[in-house]
Structure 1
Amino acid sequence: MKTIATLTMNPTIDVSYEVESVFHTRKMRTRNERYAPGGGGINVARVFCRLGGTARCYYLSGGATSAALDGLVDLHQLVRTRIPIEHDTRIAAAVLERESGKEYRFTPPGPPVAAEEWQDCLDRLAEADCSHLVASGSLPPGVPSDFYARVVRIMQKRGIRTILDTSGDALKDGLAGGRVLLVKPSLGELRQLVGRDLESVEEIGAAATAIIDKGQAELIAVTMGHRGALLAWQDGTLHLPALPIEAKSAVGAGDSFLAAMVYALTVGQEPVDAFRYGMAAGSAAVLTPGTDLAFPEDIDRLFALVVGGRKMAPLRPQNS
């Protein structure tokens, strides 16, 4: 297995707290304060390296908070390439209300990024030494929506496989860059992409298969929360139900899912087995409180429980 790279255009310093009850105006005393480096690509790298892989993190960071983010990345012993920007790296917060068990998450849009800054990022990526690039997370203000498509084209020229996990216009325009190895939308993100409600497993599978038929992706893994997840590839689709576990935090579940699936693919596992491994990792992530992510021992334990599922032949629109 070679080194992968991850790209995080809009990283965060993730802070989590617990409070007994949430009230407006009143000062609330917190406990279990935690800090972690965050953002899609960085989270993927954290789990990928826990599993035994090697990853280099490319990310934009600047302002007064950049040193704190760098320190947290170093604390997790991640190899990094920071692309400097002028404005402050964002700080995201997750608050667990112990009384109700509900979690409240606050995520800023991120700092504005100048054209020369995101172009510097493309120039750095053109020199990346890796087998796969995972481009994950939102685009901050100022970065064009076709940025990921530009990244895909750069990687294609160098024979590097690309994995994409984003949303909205960044996902729509990113897929226009050409055939990526894997796309991992949530059900809400897939609905937004296709512009219609998708309720049944058959509808979800057909929508994912249509993207594959356009030549935009080889594999699509749709995460659906309590409904489980669906994998679509050229030969069909597979729906797996969610594992019956008690969730402590939803932070990082999708990133853990993606990291484990990519790890399995890079060590030569077949797509279906890699998908099952991703399912186990996504479930393992919700067992951890606050900003923590999936741990290998939990992934391996839950992987043994990911069985069954419903496999179907390709579900393609009649006019395809």
Structure 2
Amino acid sequence: MARIVTLTMNPALDIATSIERIAPERKLRCDAPRYDPGGGGINVARVAHALGVDALAVFPAGGAAGELIGHLLRQEGVGYSAIPIDGFTRESLNVAERESGQQYRFILPGPELGGHDQQHCLDALATAAAGADYIVASGSLPRGVPEDFYARVGDIARRLGRRLVLDTSGPALKHAGTGIHLLKPSLGELEGLLGHSIQGEREEEQAARGLIEQGRCEIAVVSLGARGALLASKDGVKRLPALQVASKTAVGAGDSMLAGILVGLIRGLGLGEAARFGIAAGAAALLATGTQLCRPEDVERLYRTAVGAA
């Protein structure tokens, strides 16, 4: 039985390629593409599986892209429950320009999901997550899905007695409700939730502490990019430094970090050490190319580095 069950309402078929130079008005002949199953929860499930924890991804799927996501997950050995829909699963394109070293990311909108499709996803989640340690709801919401959808996921988690982990942004985050076990916003997402800018370390720590005091969540991990992360809980707020690596891409770094935290907790690490393991997973994702996620050997190596530096 899966220890982690994820829900991705707006999955994507991630396509990565490269080209010498991007220019307008020309046919741009790219290198051979790489295809990966993508979307927040799917990425979390993939990383958790790669790190040795059983995970299952629940997501709506339609059209050729939806079928290919399932095929790719089967190849990786990741369990999944794909909910058939009439619309077409979106695609995203990552193009690396070799001349400049820049990356260009083109994200297409997802399909519109009606009420029946939404309920089918929730029903599948409830069935899959009955014995899980964690329910992870991650990513954006597609058209047609109400802003308070993740509050409905929270209702399922409470009914099942499971711990809800949420990673989203914008209105979906603002209307997600309270009682979430672990919330993982970036600093920008936290500013959007609060409705004002956050200046300086003191305000960062106050904002993270406020998430706990307001009952939004039991644990908050606020990503600070190159400055690491803030870990907030009932025991206070702690700063965790970033690991310095030669970054090739930022694709999937946040999802890898979240998966790493949960894997660390399932392994029996304390909260602080699990957060360090998550930071190592996020840093390992920066070493990948295109739409690849972190490699387990890089995660373990970087975690040993983080422990040694602590």
Common topology (TM > 0.5): yes
Q: Which residue of 2 aligns with 1:73?
A: 73
Alignment of 1:17-32 (within 5 A): 17-32=17-32
Question: What is the rounded CA distance, in whole Å, between the counterparts of 1:138 and 1:88 in structure 2?
Answer: 16
Q: Which residue of 2 aligns with 1:184?
A: 184
Residue 160, structure 1, aligned to residue 162, structure 2: yes
Give the CA deviation at 1:307: 5.3
Give the CA deviation at 1:209: 0.9
Question: What is the rounded CA distance, in whole Å, between the counterparts of 2:133 and 2:299 in structure 1?
Answer: 24
Q: How many residues align?
A: 308
1:306 match: secondary structure: helix
1:274 match: secondary structure: helix
Structure 1 contact 240–309 (Cα < 8 Å) conserved: no
Q: Deviations over 1:264-302 (max 9, x none)?
A: 112221110011001101000010001111111101111
Give the CA deviation at 1:29: 2.0
What percentage of residue pairs aligned between the two structures are identical?
A: 47
TM-score where L is the length of structure 1 = 0.92
Structure having the higher helix fraction is 2
Question: What is the rounded CA distance, in whole Å, between the counterparts of 1:28 and 1:96 in structure 2?
Answer: 12
Alignment of 1:38-117 (within 5 A): 38-117=38-117
Q: Which residue of 2 aligns with 1:295?
A: 295
Residue 132, structure 1, aligned to residue 134, structure 2: yes
Q: Which residue of 1 aligns with 2:152?
A: 150
Q: Which residue of 2 aligns with 1:304?
A: 304
Task: Please say which of residues 21-30 and 6-15 is displaced more in the overlay.
Answer: 21-30
Give the CA deviation at 1:213: 0.6
Q: Which residue of 1 aligns with 2:281?
A: 281
2:135 match: secondary structure: strand
Question: What is the rounded CA distance, in whole Å, between the counterparts of 2:31 and 2:227 in structure 1?
Answer: 32
TM-score where L is the length of structure 2 = 0.95
Structure 1 contact 257–280 (Cα < 8 Å) conserved: yes
Unaligned 5+ segments in structure 2 are none
Q: Which residue of 2 aligns with 1:314?
A: none
Give the CA deviation at 1:63: 2.6
Unaligned 5+ segments in structure 1 are 311-320
Give the CA deviation at 1:32: 4.8
Q: Which residue of 1 aligns with 2:231?
A: 231
Give the CA deviation at 1:41: 0.6
Residue 118, structure 1, aligned to residue 118, structure 2: yes
Q: Deviations over 1:178-206 (max 9, x none)?
A: 31221111111111111111131221111
Letter in 2 for 1:124: A
2:127 match: secondary structure: coil
1:126 match: secondary structure: helix
**RMSD over equivalenced CA pairs, Å:** 1.6
Letter in 2 for 1:150: R
